[in-house]
Amino acid sequence: MAHAHRPNALDRIFFAIDEAWRRCSLPGVDIWILLECDGAIDMKGLSTALRALQRCYPAAAARLHPPGWLGFPRWDFRDDPPAAFHADAGRADSGADFGWLEELLRSRLDWSVHAPFQIYRFTSDTGDRLLFRWPHAFADARGGVTLIEELARLYDEQTPCERATSVEDELREDAGNLSRKEVSAAAPVQAKPRRSIRAVRLVDAAAGKPPARMGVEIRRLSVAQAAAVREASLRVCGVARFADFIRSSAIRALHELVGQPAGPNLGYSSMHLIDQRRKRDSGPVCHNVFSAVPVWVDAAIAADRRASADAVADALRDSLADGSARRQWRRMGWLSRIPTGLLACAFARSLRSATSFLPEGLANAPSVPLGFMGPLARPRTTFCGAKLVNILGLRPASWHAGFAINVNAAQDRMNIAAAFFEPHVPRARISALLDRYVELLLDWREAK
């Protein structure tokens, strides 16, 4: 068994971004998943399953070995596992008040002391809430959700801790569909030229200065409303275009909120995240294994969701055809060879100046930062002894964009969760954006 889990190139980039945020007094670049349950969690069974999970995935119980100015980070296994389960984190309001969640989102953990896969249990009048947290540098959303699914499986199977053994995720060095050899050998491909477009944003990144506090706004859609969104997607964009529909609706909502600006060089930027894991292979789990393909929509067509969705699909198809994914991995590989401390210093400078030399989507956020979390690999009605009612995912907001939206479609439900920086983005403004977004998701009247 290895004594350390070594981050890949993209992991090291996220370590540098997180350190840059710390230097700017911003919260940690962490990913959050909230499970809302009806009834009480089996605390003893969850604790046993967590210990088994940590044996299957040793990195989930590791300690960060800090990189220093001229070094690189790693997750060290040789110490005793630090605490990862907070059984009495407090009370969670069952309504629209997420102050308890906002308080945690504003916090920052020292990962040389804390395990990178953290669980918080909150109680409420309707049932327990389980909040999962991990640094983006440890795993992407798909990797973290895999750990949650494995935790549930180990609980269901009542796997004794002593029988659990490592699945050897810590030994993997591939990047899913792109192995290290494939990425290194990828020949340069000429990309299609793109005319210069100035991104329309909700806020001016240079108008405010860190520090700021993180806020949360959430919209829950009923089962009937979630079905109505899928029907609207089919009518507006056609078959198998759900991701394009939710993205084009978000672009139109922002377009309306900022006053429908017009101009030959104005547009909206967003990102398509492509999971690079191979089919039937959930790993690598404790890594970032994705490509981020930037897409642009001209302001002139932003009010037409079908035209906007087609532009997004065309941009994605062109990016895949010209080898953008492999070129991105090559660029990230070159960038990640810079010592993490030095790279973080450069990122922090770009945050303070509201500019970035990074590709769109890393430290330099798109104007419409939208993430999507689909259903679990296997539908679940229970989780560690309690009825599973709802799943919410949250991603950190970027200072450049001021906010980030995550669309969650799971358990026959749909939820829209937004994290944003106050007072950089007033709560009333993000609330208006989400209200209009939900209206558009339910509206099918643009069908041709």
- Per residue in 98-146, pLDDT (tens digit) is 889 999 999 999 999 999 999 999 999 999 999 999 999 999 999 999 9
Is the pLDDT at 223 greater than 80? The verdict is yes
pLDDT at residue number 194: 57
- Per residue in 173-212, pLDDT (tens digit) is 777 776 555 555 544 445 555 557 888 999 876 655 666 7
Cis amide prior to 366 (ω within 30 degrees): no
361 pLDDT band (50/70/90 cuts)? low
DSSP 207-236: TS-S--EEEEEEEEEPHHHHHHHHHHHHHH
pLDDT at residue number 282: 86
pLDDT at residue number 235: 94
Is the pLDDT at 1 greater than 70? The verdict is no
The end-to-end CA distance of the chain, in Å, is 59
Q: Can you state the percent helix, strand and coil of the chain, rounding each to 5? A: 35, 25, 40
How far, in Å, are 50, 238, 337, 374, 431 from residue 47 at the CA level?
5, 45, 38, 27, 37
Q: Mean of the pLDDT values across residues 301-326?
A: 86
Distance in angstroms (rounded) separating the CA atoms of residues 177 and 179:
6
Q: Which residues, 6 or more positions from 181, have their beta carbon under 8 angstroms from its beta carbon?
A: none
Contact yes or no for 52/154 (Cβ under 8 A): yes
More confident residue, 93 or 73: 73
Distance in angstroms (rounded) separating the CA atoms of residues 116 and 172:
18
Q: How many helices (H) and strands (E) does the chain have?
A: 11, 16
How far, in Å, are 130, 275, 406 from residue 85 at the CA level?
10, 29, 25
Distance in angstroms (rounded) separating the CA atoms of residues 143 and 110:
21
Query: Is the model's pTM score more than 0.75?
Result: yes
The candidate with the shortest Cα–Cα distance to 363, out of 292, 427, 422, 259, is: 292
Residue 413 parent element (H or E): strand 413-422
- Per residue in 385-413, pLDDT (tens digit) is 999 999 999 988 888 889 999 999 888 89
Contact yes or no for 250/258 (Cβ under 8 A): no
Distance in angstroms (rounded) separating the CA atoms of residues 145 and 73:
23
Contact yes or no for 85/24 (Cβ under 8 A): no
More confident residue, 25 or 447: 25
pLDDT at residue number 448: 44
Q: Which residues, 6 or more positions from 211, have their beta carbon under 8 angstroms from its beta carbon?
A: 24, 25, 26
Is the pLDDT at 437 greater than 90? The verdict is yes
pLDDT at residue number 323: 75
Q: String of b and e for 96-132 (b: at least 16 CB within 10 Å)?
A: eebebbbebbbeebebeebbbbbbbbbeeeebbbbbb
